[in-house]
Structure 1
């Protein structure tokens, strides 16, 4: 950071002083980046929970279908046993 002081003298003897203060630019990107990161995490969490819910529903449907196939196979086996008697 460099400050400059300029003094100007007029022909009548009066002086005028100008001070220039050189500051580094402000960096306000931290808050904006934090908000963007928060939104991205919220969207990712929502998508993940939707995927897990769909996966759970799919697993339940597959389990139910497998149970029905098992029950049908049991019925066929029982019918075969009765036919042999």
Structure 2
């Protein structure tokens, strides 16, 4: 139920001031909106978690690739060193 209350106040100078107040007995439900907002928030958090986990996986893969490349460079340097030793041995003999 909605009720409108109008109050008039008269000052000694003869001025009249009017105040209008609206009173409602209805309660604000808003329950559906709250649940939808909560669902959107949960979905956003899940999507953010997924993106961040994928980023950390790609960082781990990148780190592994860099480590593997460094190992290959080390092996190649070792082979060059051995070839140089062999060449020096052949020249001196």
Q: TM-score range by the shorter chain?
A: 0.5 to 0.7
Instruction: Give the root-mean-square deviation of aligned CA atoms.
Output: 2.3
Work out the number of aligned pairs and report it: 69
- Is 1:23 the counterpart of 2:26? The answer is yes
Structure 1: tracts of 5 or more residues without a match: 5-20
| In 1, Cα distance between equivalents of 2:54 and 2:25 | 53
Deviation at 1:27, TM superposition (A): 2.6
Structure 2: tracts of 5 or more residues without a match: 4-23
- What secondary structure is seen at the aligned counterpart in 2 of 1:72? helix
| In 2, Cα distance between equivalents of 1:23 and 1:78 | 90
TM-score (norm 2): 0.61
- Is 1:56 the counterpart of 2:60? The answer is yes
Query: Which residue does the alignment assign to 1:7?
Result: none
What pairs up with 1:1-85 in 2 under 5 angstroms? 22-28=25-31, 29-85=33-89
TM-score (norm 1): 0.66
